[in-house]
Amino acid sequence: MALSVGIVGLPNVGKSTVFNALTAGKAEAANYPFCTIDPNVGVVPVPDDRLKRIEKHVKTQKVLPAIVEIVDIAGLVKGASQGEGLGNKFLANIRETNAVLMMVRCFDDPNVIHVAGSVDPMRDIDIIDLELALADVESAERRMKKAQGAAKTGSKEGKIELALAEKIYNHLQAGKAARSLDLTDDERKVMSTMGLLTAKPVLYCCNVGENDLPNGNQWSDQVKARAAREGAGVVILCGKVESELAELAPEDRAELLASYGLAEPALATLARECYRLLGLQSYFTAGEKEVRAWTIRKGATAPEAAGVIHTDFEKGFIRAQVYSLADLEQYGSEAAIKAAGKLRMEGKEYVVQDGDIMHFLFNV
């Protein structure tokens, strides 16, 4: 399931440092604007302790976590919607992603220049929001003109689309993001075809100094308050520390983590939050060859979940055998679960739950 999160922010806020740490890259971000000209794409594992818990009871050759795709997008500058900096290319790169990870600078360092001359996360977020909204206003205007033509011919769909485009346009003009609009499911479907940047869900990532770990500082507190008002998530990290952790073998990280009061690298939290932001969840398959987390959208049915493994599984779906991790930990093996009558048979209508352990029966 190729859904991606785009890392967005002003130049020199730590996007590439965090991206390289996420993808265990060794390249260091250069200290000047536009250091990432083409978006880099990284595939990041989503840490999930349930895999280890399954592995305790199912002897297997390998363990495969779920993944999330992260795109490192070049730094935005004021005026991007009018073509400043990388302008349209930057906006097109965001348009191709499914969600936005907004990297906000919440650290002061005289050696790392800030494109606006000072640290002010609220101003930085406002700049980004404005550029995305201005681009969306243009998109809404284009859709309104197109719908006006269809509405004049008496098209019912054209009239509905025109009303929606006007609603979105007025909302944007009032300085509000498209994602905060109260819409019906049908309206949301139409809006999803408009490629609006402010319709994408947002996760804020506060890049703080190493002395501000683990809880952040007054700047990240401002971002937290803003995110709470918007119903968005926040992750606090220090790009420099995460880079150091990424260089270490997992077994060597404990001492460094403890010195900063961290239970795990903040990037683990970030990967899980990105997964949640995209509306994704995992189910598991567990056997001798592999224990694996498979990615599905929340609300997916059993045949849809089967189709993630192979399209033939969905086409020829008969039923799914399902049990829970709690059952596995209580009974110790799949055979014991079956003997206890806890192995469930689920049909085509079954909505898969996060953490289900499944086998599929199919006929092609």
Can you give the pLDDT at residue 34?
A: 35
Q: Averaged over 222-227, what is the pLDDT?
A: 98
Residues 6+ positions from 234 with CB-CB distance below 8 Å? 203, 204, 205, 206, 220, 223, 224, 227
Can you give the pLDDT at residue 167?
A: 94
> 4-277 domain in CATH 3.40.50.300?
yes
- Provide the pLDDT confidence category of residue 159 given band limits of 50, 70 and 90: confident
Backbone angles phi, psi at 323, to 5 degrees: -145, 170
Q: Averaged over 94-102, what is the pLDDT?
A: 93
Residue 41 CA to residue 179 CA, distance in Å, equals 25
Query: Over 80: is that where the pLDDT of 352 sits?
Result: yes
* Domain boundary assignment for the chain: 4-277, 299-362
- Provide the pLDDT confidence category of residue 291 given band limits of 50, 70 and 90: very high
- Provide the pLDDT confidence category of residue 28 given band limits of 50, 70 and 90: very low
Query: Over 90: is that where the pLDDT of 131 sits?
Result: no
Name the more confident of 124 and 31.
Answer: 124
Q: Averaged over 165-181, what is the pLDDT?
A: 92
Which residue is listed with tokens 């498209």? Answer: 178
**For the whole model, what pTM was predicted?**
0.87
C-alpha distance from residue 91 to each of 94, 95, 108, 114, 128 (Å): 5, 6, 28, 21, 11
Query: Over 80: is that where the pLDDT of 78 sits?
Result: no
Q: How many of the other CB atoms lie within 10 Å of CB of 43?
A: 12
**Model pLDDT for residues 236-248, shown as the tens digit of each residue:** 999 999 999 999 9
Strand ranges across the sheet with 99-106: 40-46, 66-72, 4-8, 99-106, 202-208, 233-237
Residue 357 CA to residue 160 CA, distance in Å, equals 43
CA-closest candidate to residue 137, choices 198, 189, 94, 83:
198
Which range has the worst mean pLDDT, 72-86, 118-132, 197-211, 337-351? 72-86
CA-closest candidate to residue 76, choices 127, 135, 14, 20:
127
- Provide the pLDDT confidence category of residue 77 given band limits of 50, 70 and 90: low
Q: How many of the other CB atoms lie within 10 Å of CB of 354?
A: 11
Tell whether the torsion through CA atoms of 29, 30, 33 and 35 is positive or negative: negative
Query: Over 90: is that where the pLDDT of 41 sits?
Result: no
The full length of the chain comes to: 364
Can you give the pLDDT at residue 80?
A: 53
- Provide the pLDDT confidence category of residue 81 given band limits of 50, 70 and 90: low
Can you give the pLDDT at residue 11?
A: 86
CA-closest candidate to residue 136, choices 108, 183, 175, 110:
175
Query: Over 60: is that where the pLDDT of 87 sits?
Result: no
Query: Over 50: is that where the pLDDT of 35 sits?
Result: no
Query: Over 80: is that where the pLDDT of 39 sits?
Result: no
Name the more confident of 186 and 213.
Answer: 213
- Provide the pLDDT confidence category of residue 22 given band limits of 50, 70 and 90: confident
- Provide the pLDDT confidence category of residue 12 given band limits of 50, 70 and 90: confident
Q: Is 102 exposed, middle or buried (0-12, 13-18, 19+ CB in 10 A)?
A: buried
Residue 124 CA to residue 121 CA, distance in Å, equals 5
What proportions of the chain, in percent to the nearest 5, are helix, strand and coil? Answer: 45, 20, 35
Strand, helix or coil at 56? Answer: coil
CATH number of the domain located at residue range(s) 299-362 in this protein: 3.10.20.30
Query: Over 90: is that where the pLDDT of 140 sits?
Result: yes
Name the more confident of 37 and 313.
Answer: 313
- Provide the pLDDT confidence category of residue 82 given band limits of 50, 70 and 90: low
Residue 207 CA to residue 219 CA, distance in Å, equals 10
- Provide the pLDDT confidence category of residue 79 given band limits of 50, 70 and 90: low
